[in-house]
Amino acid sequence: MSAPTQVPDRRILEAVNGVILPGFFGTDLPQWLAEALDDGLAGVVYFGQNISPDTARLSAAIRSRRPSAIIAADEEGGTVTRLEAEHGSTLPGPAQLGQAGDMGLSTSVGAALAVRAAAAGINLVLGPVADVNTNPANPVIGVRSFGAEPRGVAAHVAAAVRGIQASGAVAACAKHFPGHGDTHTDSHLALPELRLATGEIEEIHFEPFRAAVSAGVRAVMTAHIRVPGWGDAPATLNPVILGKLRAIGFSGVIVTDALDMAAIREGIGMGAGAVAAIRAGADLLCIGNPRTNPGNTDEAGADCQDYLVVRNALLAAVASGELFLEQLEQAAARVRTLAADLEPSRDLAMTETAEPDWAAGAAPGIDVSGTVARSAGRLALVDLRARATLAVAAESDAFRRAFASRRAVLALLPVTAPQAWADNLRGLEPDADVIVLVDRIGVPGPQRDALEEIAALRPDAVVVNVGVAPEPGFANRLDRIDARASSALSAGIVAGLVYGEASA
């Protein structure tokens, strides 16, 4: 592992490492990461690439180098999962829970997330999503949110926090402050701007974070979004915005969203962003996923290089006086306090217990318009979805698998070649069913336009919407299921609605 030209003082090195949470490649502990843990690294963040049937062994290897290591993962239920990235989540998603309106169910899902996380050695769940999805065209939040109404979202967020943190073995991290729900841009790809009056943001978008704080949430994640009324710097790097988080009573760990996202990486840069985030009041710097984010590659060493960029920038900032060591140590102390509070509970007997019937719980969050049952022996899937965002970071096709378990799939027709799928649809044998997968019909746009074409060609098609549901009165002649999640659980429920239970 390379180092700065001058070997840093041990106190400074441990303070710097104590605020860094990197991602890494593989399902084994790399040597550079082992050495960083020996030098006081706060912990790691897992992504789908790190998950295997033996993830608990990887977690044990990490803690053999640093017993108090924080191991974090985005585990939201529904569309976003790391532990079940290979096949999709088997838990209800936030939008389904919000639609169902059962706070007890949200608490139960949170508790299940914690049990599953703890079994893998994860002690910081990067969730729940506390964003109020007031923009139905939001490209990155959508059904990851509990909904568009702040009081309802706040109630579900508080319930989820209580469920996740009930055992004391796992902490929750509400995200993304000051609220990512009204943005028009994905911060994985660019820097969004929240074009709302600051008073409106505080009244509407702060409400779920206030509820999370009242519920005792241990960590809050920042958003890489610009709020012009509070300055030009994105929230992650903005002392005014992070000060407002402290002002609502939060005294726990402020975690940055991933610094390798384009909103930071392609602007100020990861290293300068890390320094600015600590100066603004952040405590724990999530570097992110070295495999999926723009500007990086899958080549060997990219994960270590990202870590070194952040580490060395912090070391240089302390050496130059740009960053006070005392502020760095205060941030590292908050992280250590969180880790110490979780450490005694880490070995709690969180044995696998029987979970409730999640399909029954999720079903009230799924709406059916028209008559969706079909009986043909074969079907064609027309996939109009915009594909997974980098936040989802999974391409598992749970819906194709669920339908294939019930009927022979003739074809998968993607939206990437609209004329091709339209021509294929015209030539499809009339006794085959047509299932149309969408995720962007909450607002006018290409997917709605395509549905009009399909309705003219095949008025018997069934639309399966895994995104935000369209407004009441949305005019389309096709029968529709609003599933509100792209997950294995949702796919099984939807396929069952169309064709009944799968054969053994």
Query: Nearest CA to 414 among 402, 426, 401, 425?
Result: 425
User: Using one digit for the tens of pLDDT, what is the confidence trace for 135-153?
Assistant: 998 888 999 999 999 999 9
Taking a C-beta distance cutoff of 8 angstroms, is the pair 99, 143 a contact?
Answer: no
User: Using one digit for the tens of pLDDT, what is the confidence trace for 401-429?
Assistant: 999 999 988 876 665 555 666 777 887 88
Taking a C-beta distance cutoff of 8 angstroms, is the pair 97, 106 a contact?
Answer: yes
* CA–CA dist 298, 147 (Å, integer): 35
Contacts of 82 (CB under 8 A, 6+ apart): 46, 47, 48, 50, 51, 73, 74, 75
Q: What is the pLDDT of residue 7?
A: 56
3-state secondary structure of 448: helix
pLDDT at 1 over 70: no
Beta strands in 96-140 (DSSP E): 124-125
Stretch 265-276: mean pLDDT, rounded? Answer: 93
* CA–CA dist 243, 221 (Å, integer): 14
Start-to-end CA span in the chain (Å): 52
Instruction: Give the global pTM.
Output: 0.93
User: Using one digit for the tens of pLDDT, what is the confidence trace for 312-348?
Assistant: 999 999 999 999 999 999 999 999 999 999 965 544 4
* CA–CA dist 421, 270 (Å, integer): 42
Query: DSSP code of 50?
Result: G
* CA–CA dist 365, 93 (Å, integer): 9
Instruction: Work out the pLDDT band at 504, boundaries 50, 70, 90.
Output: very low
User: Using one digit for the tens of pLDDT, what is the confidence trace for 199-248?
Assistant: 999 999 999 999 999 999 999 999 999 999 999 999 999 999 999 999 99
Stretch 20-36: mean pLDDT, rounded? Answer: 97
Q: What is the pLDDT of residue 291?
A: 73
Stretch 273-294: mean pLDDT, rounded? Answer: 89
* CA–CA dist 95, 372 (Å, integer): 21
Percent of the chain with pLDDT over 90: 76
Q: Give the dihedral sign, CA 486/488/489/490.
A: positive
More confident: 424 or 287: 287
> What is the chain's alpha carbon radius of gyration, rounded to the nearest angstrom?
23
Q: What is the pLDDT of residue 475?
A: 81
Task: Please tell me which residue in 102, 131, 186, 257 is annotated as part of the active site.
Answer: 257
Q: What is the pLDDT of residue 293?
A: 55
* CA–CA dist 312, 266 (Å, integer): 18
Task: Please tell me which residue in 156, 176, 180, 188 is annotated as part of the active site.
Answer: 188
CB atoms near residue 357 (< 10 Å): 8
Could you confirm whether 54 is annotated as catalytic?
Answer: no
Taking a C-beta distance cutoff of 8 angstroms, is the pair 433, 379 a contact?
Answer: yes
Could you confirm whether 156 is annotated as catalytic?
Answer: no
Q: What is the pLDDT of residue 5?
A: 46
* CA–CA dist 453, 449 (Å, integer): 7
Stretch 429-457: mean pLDDT, rounded? Answer: 91
Which residue in this structure is represented by tokens 């241990």? 218
Which residue in this structure is represented by tokens 């909904």? 147
Query: Nearest CA to 435 among 484, 480, 394, 395?
Result: 480
**Is the previous residue joined to 228 through a cis bond, with omega within 30 degrees of 0?**
no
Q: What is the pLDDT of residue 191?
A: 74
Q: What is the pLDDT of residue 348?
A: 44
Instruction: Work out the pLDDT band at 393, boundaries 50, 70, 90.
Output: low
pLDDT at 75 over 70: yes
More confident: 441 or 194: 441
Instruction: Work out the pLDDT band at 2, boundaries 50, 70, 90.
Output: very low
Taking a C-beta distance cutoff of 8 angstroms, is the pair 112, 167 a contact?
Answer: no
Name the β-bridge partners of 219: 173, 253
Which residue in this structure is represented by tokens 């760095």? 328
* CA–CA dist 177, 257 (Å, integer): 10
